[in-house]
């Protein structure tokens, strides 16, 4: 018992025989705060999932309106000069959205009352300065894109044409450059895979055209 009393009183301000202050009581406020914090966090955490579920339920009930669909038709083609020793074709260049210069076949929208062939002849002359006559259909490309909050389905009719007059010109405001390229180099110059695939039929079409 002496050892027990000494150990309780030793080193305390009240001297021997007096019990030391209970340290547990000094920890109670901190423990209470910790418990309260945990309780508050639990309540806060419990509220978040229900709010998220409520928001998700509201979103699920309100679907965004569908964008209107628009059909567009264009025409153009490959105009070939067959008067020289080497066949050559006229291509145009524009800047893409990243500012890169890309080469492609001349083409544009049909005007009211135009056939695709008429539009192809007009667009080729406007964008290259070269008048042409249609030799044969070269192929059709169609694709989708979004512009001005509309889903646009575009169909482009391409024709193989023979140059019959005019001079190469880049006066069209939408065209950055115009150039003749040897027909053998056209495929590697074209930026778009769909247009490159149109050239697969070119040897047969030129042979049929005589």
List, for residues 125-139, the tens digit of each pLDDT value: 999 999 999 999 999
pTM: 0.68
What pLDDT sits at residue 5?
41
What pLDDT sits at residue 7?
38
pLDDT digits (tens, 9 = 90+) for 37-57: 445 544 444 455 555 555 555
How far, CA to CA in Å, does 15 sit from each of 25, 26, 163? Answer: 20, 20, 118
Question: Which DSSP string corresponds to the chain?
Answer: -HHHHHHHHTT-TT-TTSPPP-HHHHHHHHHHHHHHHHHHHHHHHHHHHHHHHHHHHHHHH-PPPPPPEEEEEEEEEEEEE-SSSS-EEEEEEEE-TTS-EEEE--EEEPPTT--HHHHHHHHHHHHHSEEEEEEEEEEEEEEEEEETTEEEEEEEEEEEEEEEEE-----STT-SEEEEEEGGGHHHHB--HHHHHHGGGHHHHHHHH-
What pLDDT sits at residue 53?
56
Tokens of 39: 């309780």
């Amino acid at each position: 018992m002496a050892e027990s009393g000494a150990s309780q009183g030793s080193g305390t301000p009240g001297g021997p025989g007096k019990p030391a202050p209970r340290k547990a009581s000094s920890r109670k406020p901190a423990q209470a705060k910790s418990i309260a914090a945990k309780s508050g966090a639990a309540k806060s955490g419990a509220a978040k999932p229900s709010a998220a579920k409520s928001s998700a339920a509201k979103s699920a009930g309100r679907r965004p309106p569908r964008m209107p669909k628009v059909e567009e038709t264009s025409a153009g083609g490959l105009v070939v000069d067959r008067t020289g020793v080497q066949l050559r074709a006229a291509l145009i260049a524009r800047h893409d959205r990243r500012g890169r210069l890309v080469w492609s076949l001349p083409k544009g929208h049909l005007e009211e009352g135009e056939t695709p062939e008429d539009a192809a002849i007009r667009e080729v002359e406007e964008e290259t300065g070269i008048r042409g006559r249609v030799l044969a259909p070269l192929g059709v490309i169609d694709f989708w894109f979004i512009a001005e909050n509309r889903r646009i389905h575009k169909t482009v009719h391409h024709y193989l044409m023979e140059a019959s007059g005019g001079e190469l010109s880049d006066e069209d405001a939408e065209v950055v450059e115009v150039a003749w390229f040897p027909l053998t180099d056209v495929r590697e110059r074209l930026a778009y895979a769909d247009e490159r695939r149109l050239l697969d039929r070119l040897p047969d079409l030129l042979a049929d055209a005589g």
